[in-house]
Amino acid sequence: MKHTEVATYLKGIALFSRLTQDELATLSNKTHQTNKKTNQILIHDGDTLSNFYILKEGKGICYFLHPDGKKTIIYHIGCDKPFALETALMGTRHNGIVEISEDASVLSVPVDRITKLMRTDAAFASQVARHSMDSVFRLCDLLKDLSFGAPARLSRYLFRRALEAGSPHGEGVYFELGMRKGVLADYLGITPETLSRMFSQLQNDDIITVKGSKIIVNSLRNLVHLSEGFCLDEDNTN
């Protein structure tokens, strides 16, 4: 990928959209593209980084790996979303493992180019700060979610999806689940069997209707009630 093509590509990403052509050239002339296979590790837990990354194609996940081998997904990585930028900027060790979940084309951008631009472009520095704070808030949301029981974790996820991607459906809201159920179980820190039981209970209580990867929320009020940690049918699911 030629540097001019990289500059054009970066211009289309919100974080870099206001940069001038000269600034984009500064950012792109040391950017490298590599291809990664599914299940390949891009960043190990504890790595210190001199680059941040963007997936031009493919998908990835960032997760904590527990001693028993269980994964807790921190966030999913889609195309055109810079990640690991805040870790590289701060010079700290990366928290979590970044793994390619679908064959990917990865751009690695030297973070020293970002710091150089931040010193001369206050508006860009502000954009980078907002991007980094969003990442911190996302981690805080994960830790908050994990403090709830499993039914509340699922309900909080479904409620957020309803807000982000929902469309009206009769008196309820319709949306795509957003990930495979096995991946969602990892994300919520529960087993697939527990997830299946919770979906069944939500359907039995007529809070949602599940049609494959499609979800219809029939009662947002009850879903919000569950997301706050209250159980309509108390059990010991964890």
| 3-state SS assignment for residue 100 | strand
- Lowest-confidence pick of 19-33, 36-50, 132-146, 204-218: 132-146
| Domain boundaries along the sequence of the chain | 3-146, 150-227
pLDDT for 113 equals 92
Q: Enumerate residues 6+ apart whose C-beta is below 8 A from 160.
A: none
pLDDT beyond 90 at 209: yes
Sheet holding 214-217, edge to edge: 167-169, 172-176, 214-217, 208-211
Q: What is the pLDDT of residues 41-69, one digit of tens each?
A: 999 999 999 999 999 999 999 988 888 78
Find the range with the poorest average confidence among 12-21, 124-133, 205-214, 229-238.
229-238
Tokens 């509340």 — which residue? 152
| 150-227, CATH topology level | Arc Repressor Mutant, subunit A (1.10.10)
pLDDT at 230 (0 to 100): 60
Helix, strand and coil percent figures for the chain, each rounded to 5: 45, 25, 30
Question: What is this structure's pTM?
Answer: 0.68
Task: Give the pLDDT of residue 236.
Answer: 40
Q: Residue 179 phi/psi, 5° resolution? A: -165, 160
Question: Residue 163 burial (CB < 10 Å; 0-12/13-18/19+)?
Answer: exposed
Structure token pair of residue 8: 């054009």
CATH 2.60.120.10 is held by the domain 3-146: yes
The span from the CA of 71 to the CA of 190, in Å, is 9
Buried b (16+ CB within 10 A) or exposed e, 176-204: ebbbeeebbbbbbbbbeebbebbbebbee
What pLDDT is attached to residue 235? 44
Spatial contact of 86 and 127, defined as CB atoms under 8 Å apart? no
Which parts of 78-228 are beta strand (E)?
A: 97-110, 167-169, 172-176, 208-211, 214-217
Instruction: Name the β-bridge partners of 102.
Output: 59
